[in-house]
Amino acid sequence: MSQSVTSVNVAGSTLAPVSVHSQMTQFLHRFRRQKMAIIAFGIIVVLFLLALIGPAIAPYDPFKPDYNILLEPPSSTHWLGTDEFGRDLLSRIMNGARISMVVSLSSVFVGSLIGTFFGLTAGYYGGKYDSLVMRTCDVMLAFPGILQAIAIIAILGPGLQNVIIAVAIYTIPVFIRIVRGSTLALKNMMYIEAARATGITDRLIIWKHIFPGTFSIVLVYFTMRIGSAILIAASLSFLGLGAQPPLPEWGAMLSSGRQYLMSAPHVALFPGLAILITCLAFNLFGDGLRDALDRKIVE
Amino acid sequence: MTRVKLLEVKELKISFASQNAVITAVNGISFHVYKGETLGIVGESGCGKSITSLSIMRLLPKDTALIEGSIQFCGQEVLMLPECEMHNIRGNQISMIFQEPMTSLNPVHTIGKQIDEVILLHLKLSGKEARILTLDMLKKVGIPRPEAIVKDYPYQLSGGMRQRVMIAMSLVCSPGLLIADEPTTALDVTIQAQILDLMRLMRKEMGASIIMVTHDLGVVAEMCERVLVMYAGQIVEEAEVVSLFANPKHPYTVGLMKSIPQLNKSVSRLVPIPGQVPPFSNMPPGCRFAPRCLQVMNKCRNENPSLLTVQDGHNCRCWLYENGGGLGG
């Protein structure tokens, strides 16, 4: 008997050091092992810095034309060359970072907020409400994303603000689906029943006991969705439905540079590269986050 | 001597609607729990004991479970109460300990936060006062270093420790009734004994009544004053614990006793009860135990006996006792 008691104590004491390292430390430890995700994280930090201070440190005015240096290739004075109005491309891309970040972050934030709310409530309450929410999702997901965004822009009219709304609406059903899925799994857990047995109201159970369980998935999808939000926002601008010409939006820049693809490929190349690197960074970071947050994969 | 009935269940019938049939999992059971008493509910898996305890808390899914009969707690009809009043009863006046301590705590919150939550929900205390009560309660249930443990997550504790935390959580608002649904099943024997000791101590200190749902007759013998034996959704025997173990009446109870290994007897093989529990969708018309009973009579196959009083406080659902007769052999 004393044997098993001591073995329990031993188990307790070997577990004790773990309590010193919180779950956050464990997460960081796992995340650190993923080199691509760390590089991606570095790029995202740079993008955030650009969005914050880019316009201030840009070497030239992104809007001021200079008709003496039209479509000049990269040089020591204009590192990435100039566009068809002689505007410095580097300055425009640096300014464009802010637009892309604001559009993608705000649209995905709004979309995930609404999506998570409906996902949690639909999964928890079930029944007719759940069917209604899920069928609405099915309808929304039946359209290709870009087509749906174009349709929304067609109703609301072109402009950056409407791009945010369109991308947010496009993001909602995806979040509803994944959050509902994990809510369904979580609500049958013993600890949810135990929590109900302590007299907690449904609203508090959803908010305090189920939402934290879905949070890691929401976080991962949030990161990954930013990449596709940037892409869709750029596509809409490319089609002339989003940011309007003088604005240094990457998609709009790509669209206007397209005409000079043969004579001055850098005008389209650099905004395109900016879009590519940003999307890639967010997706790789999301992947790394998922691998670090999901213990099953690690084990 | 008249004792106060804390809980009185009358003709409780619980049915579940499945796609093509209604399955009655609990069929007309009646029992009561006195103040300060420990009542054991014994039976094999699927006999309806857990469902009965969940129905007292009104935790069965509303859309599929149909509950009939009456459950009175402190004179209030629980089945009639609006949901908002149930929130006040759950965890405060009636609380529950579950079978699996490994999964009954939320993995994303610390132990302290989870116990605080229950206190803040039911008692008018500030966050600081709640934490003091939490620490005090954890100390009472024998957790060493409660100041450190409150900051731990459930995965950092062993099963026995977690069950102690669950007990602390269920008793922190001093409920009148504690429903323990197989609280020791998932634990090894040493920890089981510790947890049972703890529950006995807590009952003494806090004066709560306990309903002990279990399939372990050893736990019943150690903990309970009165026992209900359930079989296929019905009570087949009800007795004081001493009377039940000394003189089991129902052939099912006798069979259960025979299937327990005993330390003072050397037997090469234990005697099992032949056959299986009939499925709820296809119950025999007579006594539900008849197909497995060794003393089955013709009458048993056609008519289900009612719960007959055999001795004072000892009831049994069996035709053998129709005229006060006894078990032959």
- ipTM field: 0.84
Q: Which of B57, B100, B190 sits opposite A197 (nearest CB)?
A: B57
Q: What would the mean pLDDT of A137-145 be, rounded to a whole number?
A: 90
B63 with A127: Cβ contact below 8 A = yes
| Structure tokens that stand for B94 in this block | 């009636």
Cβ of B105 within 8 Å of Cβ of A208? The answer is no
Q: Residue B263: phi, psi to the nearest 5?
A: -70, -30
Backbone angles phi, psi at A45, to 5 degrees: -60, -45
Strand order in the sheet with B234-240: B94-97, B177-181, B209-214, B38-42, B226-231, B234-240, B314-316, B308-311
Query: Is the predicted pLDDT of residue A274 greater than 50, yes or no?
Result: yes
Question: Residue A3's closest chain B neighbor by CA?
Answer: B190
Residue A21: its pLDDT value, please?
56
Our CA-based measurement puts residue B225 at a distance from the nearest CA of chain A, in whole angstroms, of: 25
Kindly determine whether residue A198 and residue B91, on different chains, have CB atoms separated by under 8 Å: yes
Question: Scanning every residue of chain A, which has its alpha carbon at the shortest distance from the alpha carbon of B105?
Answer: A191
Radius of gyration of chain A (CA): 24
- Chain A residues with CB under 8 Å of B65 CB are none
Q: Give residues with Cβ within 8 angstroms of A63, minimum separation 6.
A: A87, A246, A248
Contact in structure between A191 and B107 (CB atoms under 8 Å): yes
Residue whose pair of structure tokens reads 């779950």 in the numeric block: A23
Supply the pLDDT for residue A66: 86
Predicted pLDDT at A16 = 42
Mutate: best of B104, B185, B188, B194, partner A, most A CBs <10 A: B104
Distance (Å) of CA B152 to CA A198, B119, B157, B164: 20, 18, 8, 14
Task: For chain B, say whether A10 makes contact (Cβ under 8 Å).
Answer: no
The answer to whether B141 and B202 have CB atoms below 8 angstroms apart is yes
CB contact A297 to B (< 8 Å)? no
Kindly report the nearest CA distance between residue B296 and chain A, in angstroms: 41
Chain A, chain B: beta-carbon pairs less than 8 Å apart:
86
Q: How far apart are CA A45 and CA A58, in angstroms?
A: 17
CB spacing of A200 vs B117 below 8 angstroms: yes
Q: Which pairs count as long-range contacts for A246-251, CB under 8 Å and 24+ apart, including other chains?
A: A246/A63, A247/A99, A247/A160, A248/A62, A248/A63, A248/A91, A248/A92, A248/A93, A248/A95, A248/A96, A248/A99, A249/A96, A249/A99, A249/A100, A249/A160, A250/A93, A250/A96, A250/A99, A250/A100, A250/A274, A250/A275, A251/A275
Q: Are strands B209-214 and B38-42 parallel, antiparallel or unpaired?
A: parallel
Q: Does any CB of chain B come closer than 8 Å to the CB of residue A20?
A: no
What is the distance between the alpha carbons of residues B209 and B225, in angstroms, rounded to a whole number? 11
- Give residue B3's pLDDT: 83
What integer pLDDT is reported at residue B275 of this predicted model?
Answer: 86
Kindly list the strands in the beta sheet with B76-77, ordered across the sheet, starting from the edge strand earlier in the chain.
B22-34, B5-17, B65-73, B76-77
Contact B118 A5 (CB under 8 A): no
pTM of the entire structure?
0.83
Distances in Å between the Cα of B171 and the Cα atoms of A108, A193, A266, B117, B216 are 44, 17, 72, 13, 23
Measure the CA–CA gap between B63 and B17, rounded to whole angstroms.
Answer: 9
| pLDDT of B278 | 87
Taking the C-alpha atoms of residue B113 and residue B134, their distance in angstroms, rounded to an integer, is 9
Q: Are strands B94-97 and B177-181 parallel, antiparallel or unpaired?
A: parallel
CA distance B309 to B288: 19
Interface with chain A: mutation pick from B98, B108, B115, highest number of A CBs within 10 Å: B108
**Does A8 contact B160 at a Cβ distance shorter than 8 Å?**
yes
| pLDDT score, position A207 | 93
Within 8 A of A17 by CB-CB distance, chain B residues are: none
Residue of higher predicted confidence among A210 and A245: A210
Q: Which of residues 128-187 of A touch B (CB under 8 A)?
A: none
> What pLDDT does residue A12 have?
41
Of A12, A195, A201, the CB nearest to B106: A195
Weakly modelled stretches of chain B, pLDDT under 50 = 327-329
Q: What's the confidence (pLDDT) of residue A159? A: 87
Distance between A168 CA and the closest CA of chain B, angstroms: 29
Average pLDDT over residues A115-120: 96
| Alpha-carbon gap, residue B252 to B284, rounded angstroms | 16
Query: Residue B87: which of A19, A190, A201 has the nearest Cβ?
Result: A201
B130-139 own/partner pairs: CB under 8 Å, 24+ apart: B133/B172, B134/B168, B134/B172, B137/B168, B137/B169, B137/B171, B137/B172, B138/B111, B138/B164, B138/B165, B138/B168
CB B274 within 8 A of CB B253: no
Strand locations in chain B (E): 5-17, 22-34, 38-42, 65-73, 76-77, 94-97, 177-181, 209-214, 226-231, 234-240, 308-311, 314-316
Pairwise pLDDT comparison (A55 vs B180), residue with the higher score: B180
Residue B280 DSSP code: G
Instruction: With a cut of 80, say whether residue A11 has pLDDT above it.
Output: no
A contacts of B174 (beta carbons < 8 Å): none
Contact A194 B98 (CB under 8 A): yes
CB contact under 8 A, B59 and A197: yes
Confidence band for A83, pLDDT divided at 50, 70 and 90: confident
Beta bridge partners of B209: B177
pLDDT band at A295 (very low <50, low <70, confident <90, very high): low
Residue A2: pLDDT band with limits 50, 70, 90: very low
Distance CA B324, CA B307 (A): 13
Contacts of B19 (CB under 8 A, 6+ apart): none
pLDDT: is A68 or A133 the higher one? A133
- Residue with the two structure tokens 């610390």: B110
CB contact under 8 A, B90 and A196: yes
Containing B165, the helix (H) or strand (E) segment is: helix B159-171
First to last CA, chain A: 33
- Which residues of chain A lie closer than 8 angstroms to B157, CB-CB? 12, 15
Q: Between chains, do B59 and A193 touch, taking CB under 8 Å as contact?
A: yes
DSSP secondary structure letters along B27-57? EEEEEEEETT-EEEEE--TTSSHHHHHHHHT
Q: What is the arithmetic mean of pLDDT over A7-34?
A: 61
Cα Dmax for chain B: 68
CB contact under 8 A, B121 and A19: no
Q: Provide the 10 A C-beta neighbour count for residue A209.
A: 23
Q: What domains appear along chain A, each with residue ranges and CATH number?
A: 23-54+80-298 (1.10.3720.10)
Would you give the distance in Å from CA B158 to the centre of its chain?
A: 24
Smallest Cβ–Cβ distance between B90 and the set A4, A23, A197 belongs to A197
Give the residue from chain B lying closest to A214, CA to CA.
B108
Residue of B nearest to A7 (CA): B158
pLDDT at B1: 53
Q: Is the dihedral of CA B233, B239, B245, B250 positive or negative?
A: negative
Judge whether residue A247 has pLDDT over 60.
yes
Residue A20: pLDDT above 60? Answer: no
A63 to chain B, any CB pair closer than 8 A? The answer is: no
Residue B325 is predicted with a pLDDT of 55
According to the model, what pLDDT value does residue A93 have? Answer: 93
Contacting residues of B for A9, CB less than 8 Å apart: none
| Category of A90 on φ-ψ map: left (φ > 0), alpha (ψ -120 to 50) or beta | alpha
* Closest C-alpha to A93, from A222, A265, A278, A261: A278
The answer to whether A24 contacts chain B (CB < 8 Å) is no
What is the full DSSP assignment across B245-256?
A: HHS--SHHHHHH
Q: Please name the residue of chain A whose CA is at the shortest distance from the CA of residue B178.
A: A197
| Distance in Å, alpha carbon of B252 to nearest chain A alpha carbon | 31
Cβ distance B91 to A193 less than 8 Å, yes or no, reads no
Structure tokens at A94: 């640096």
Do B250 and B310 form a contact (C-beta atoms < 8 A)?
Answer: no
> Beta partners for A61?
none
| Distance (Å) from the alpha carbon of A289 to chain B's nearest alpha carbon | 18
Tokens of A288: 């790394």
DSSP, collapsed to helix, strand or coil, labels residue A299 as coil
Cβ within 8 Å, pair A199-B160? no
Q: Which residues are registered as beta bridge partners of B71?
A: B9
Residue A277 belongs to what H/E stretch?
helix A266-293
R_g (Cα) of chain B, nearest Å: 21
Nearest C-alpha in A relative to B84? A201
- Tell which wins on pLDDT, A299 or A89: A89
Q: Where does the pLDDT of residue A65 fall: very low under 50, low under 70, confident under 90, or very high at 90 and above?
A: confident
Q: Taking CA A138 as the corner, what is the angle to CA A135 and CA A143, rounded to the nearest 5 degrees?
A: 145
Cα–Cα distance measured from residue A214 to residue A209, given in angstroms and rounded to the nearest whole number: 9
